[in-house]
């Protein structure tokens, strides 16, 4: 399995597209979970232009994973390794 950080920079954005979420809807879900970055920063994380903090990376991963479980898919986006244990 790939560990977060070694994956291609735009992997989060391809997950977003796969989940059928617009940038704005993903931002709202991220905000809902306590995310503090702006929509613009979130887009930069997704495209790999900015590196999210480990905490932000987990919030984004979880916002995507909750959407995936709504779609009946078991959380495909990885978290920081210590959370997976």
Partner 1 sequence: MRVGRVDDVTAFELAAVLDAAIDREPTSMVLELGELVFMGAAGLVVIANAERRLATSGVALTIQSPSTLVNHLLGIVEEARVERALPGSGHLGPEQLDGVEVVSQRFGSSLSTRDLRRVAGMPTDPDVVDGALGLVVELALASIGDADGVSVSLLRHGVLSTVAASDQTIMAMDSDQYATSEGPCVDASLRGHWFHAESLDTETRWPAFTPRARALGIKAILSSPLRAFDQPVGALNIYSRTASSFEIEDQQAAAAFAEKASVILSDAHIDVGDRQMAVRFQEALRSREVLSLAKGIIMERQGIDEEDAFSSLLRHSLRQGTTLRARAEAVLLSVRRSERGPEGDAP
Which residue ranges make up the site for partner 1 (CB under 8 A)?
8, 10, 13-14, 17, 20-25, 28-29, 31-34, 43, 47, 55, 58-59, 62, 66, 69, 75, 79, 82-83
Q: How far is the CB of 37 from partner 1 (least distance, A)?
A: 14
Retrieve residue 61's tokens.
């991963």
Distance from C-alpha of 16 to C-alpha of 20, rounded to nearest angstrom: 6
Q: How far is the CB of 68 from partner 1 (least distance, A)?
A: 12
Contact 32, 26 (CB under 8 A): no
d(CA 26, CA 39): 9
What's the min distance (Å) between Cβ of 24 and partner 1?
6
């Amino acid at each position: 399995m790939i560990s977060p950080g070694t994956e291609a920079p735009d992997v989060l954005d391809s997950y977003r597209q796969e989940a059928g979420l617009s940038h704005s809807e993903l931002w709202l879900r991220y905000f809902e979970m306590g995310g503090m970055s702006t929509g613009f920063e979130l887009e930069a994380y997704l495209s790999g232009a900015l590196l999210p903090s480990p905490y932000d990376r987990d919030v984004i991963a979880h916002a995507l994973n909750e959407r995936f479980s709504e779609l009946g898919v078991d959380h495909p986006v990885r978290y920081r390794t210590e959370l997976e244990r």
